[in-house]
Amino acid sequence: MDFKVELKKKASYIEGVLKEYMPEEVGYQQTVLKAMNYSLGAGGKRLRPILVLETCKLVGGDEEEAISFAVAIEMIHTYSLIHDDLPALDNDDLRRGRATSHVVFGEAMAILAGDALLNYAFDIMLKGSIGRENPEKYLKAIYAISKNAGIYGMIGGQVVDVESENKKIDKDKLDYIHKNKTAAMMVGCMSAGALVGGADEEQLSCIVEYAEKIGLAFQIVDDILDIVGDQEKLGKNIGSDIYNNKSTYPSLLGLEKSREIAKELIVDAKKCLDGKFENKEFLDGLADYIISRDH
């Protein structure tokens, strides 16, 4: 399998699905709808919705049952990027190769677009779950996403990240930021896919461990690319961590040690799936892709 080709195919599929769920830009509130669609339609790797569907299939489930969760997770991810880019946080004017939401629509509308995407995500998950057999597994999937996106996940990590700017922090606190700000959403989307697919407790535990490790590795690679990456390939400004005086793996441990830790995490992540799942080829490929990516 040529993993990059396969990943592009899956991302293209997600693009088509997202278009079906994007709100129609009509009505008095159409400006916020346009802002939502502007950021949601900006492209990207679409890893999180892909992971929802792949994890559902991994445990023997029907990915069609997980579509609403895949769409919702990308909306939540997009809302977080809109808010991250705001002047009050990272103050970035470039995302996925084009102007960020607040540059195009203004700060107030960008905030509202982020809020709207978060709420719309739950509309979609709930609407897609109502009336289905075995409703408990869908509720558990919604809870997994909600918890990992909230104060005990992504938002919690973001809070500590903001409060740690212009401060020297230790590796334990940095790990807390990365595991919550980035890895938690990997855990949320993979847990949701596994739950919808009917995973048992042992399978779910293995998947969560894999998600935690690739999520942390993903963020470490992001830290590295913020220093040595190609801005044109990344589609966003490089050096923002340095500009905002943030502690990162490279700033604490150096580039080479950071690369070494990321590689170890990827090896350990793949071991989480060994001997437990038959069709794990894609997730093995994803782990390898994360450590080798240049954007």
| pLDDT of the residue at 242 | 58
CA 177 to CA 183: how far, in whole Å? Answer: 9
Average pLDDT over residues 130-149: 96
Total domains in the chain come to: 1
| pLDDT of the residue at 36 | 98
Return mean pLDDT, the chain.
92
CA 30 to CA 26: how far, in whole Å? Answer: 5
Task: Give residue 167's pLDDT band: very low, low, confident or very high (50, 70, 90).
Answer: confident
CB 17 within 8 A of CB 46: no
CA 284 to CA 264: how far, in whole Å? Answer: 14
pLDDT cut 70: percent of the chain above it: 94
Residue 28 DSSP code: T
For residue 257 the two structure tokens come to 């040690």
| pLDDT of the residue at 101 | 97
| pLDDT of the residue at 137 | 96
Residue 138 in this model has a pLDDT that exceeds 90? yes
Question: How big is the CA angle at 4 (ends 230 and 50), to the nearest 5 degrees?
Answer: 100
| Residue 134 backbone class (left: φ over 0; alpha: ψ -120 to 50; beta: rest) | left
CB 109 within 8 A of CB 35: yes
46 to 52, 76, 242: CA distances (angstroms): 10, 12, 27
Q: Choose the weakest-confidence range: 194-203, 233-242, 247-256, 282-291.
A: 233-242
| pLDDT of the residue at 43 | 87
CB 91 within 8 A of CB 119: no
Q: Choose the weakest-confidence range: 193-197, 232-236, 287-291.
A: 232-236
Average pLDDT over residues 60-80: 97
Residue 125 in this model has a pLDDT that exceeds 80? yes
| pLDDT of the residue at 234 | 52
Task: Give residue 244's pLDDT band: very low, low, confident or very high (50, 70, 90).
Answer: low
Task: Give residue 166's pLDDT band: very low, low, confident or very high (50, 70, 90).
Answer: confident
- pTM (two decimals): 0.92
Q: Among positive and negative, which fits the CA dihedral 4, 230, 71, 272?
A: positive
Domain that holds residue 144: 3-292
Residues near 182 by beta carbon (within 8 Å), at least 6 away in sequence: 154, 157, 215, 216, 218, 219, 222
Mind listing the pLDDT tens digit for each residue in 169-213?
A: 999 999 999 999 999 999 999 999 999 999 999 999 999 999 999
| pLDDT of the residue at 237 | 57
| pLDDT of the residue at 190 | 98
Task: Give residue 165's pLDDT band: very low, low, confident or very high (50, 70, 90).
Answer: confident
- R_g (Cα) of the chain, nearest Å: 18
Residue 147 in this model has a pLDDT that exceeds 70? yes
| pLDDT of the residue at 40 | 96
Residue 155 in this model has a pLDDT that exceeds 80? yes
| pLDDT of the residue at 71 | 98
For residue 114 the two structure tokens come to 């982020």
Q: What are phi and psi of 248, to 5 degrees?
A: -135, 170
E strands, the chain, in order: 94-95, 98-99
Q: Any idea what the CATH number is for the domain that residue 246 is in?
A: 1.10.600.10
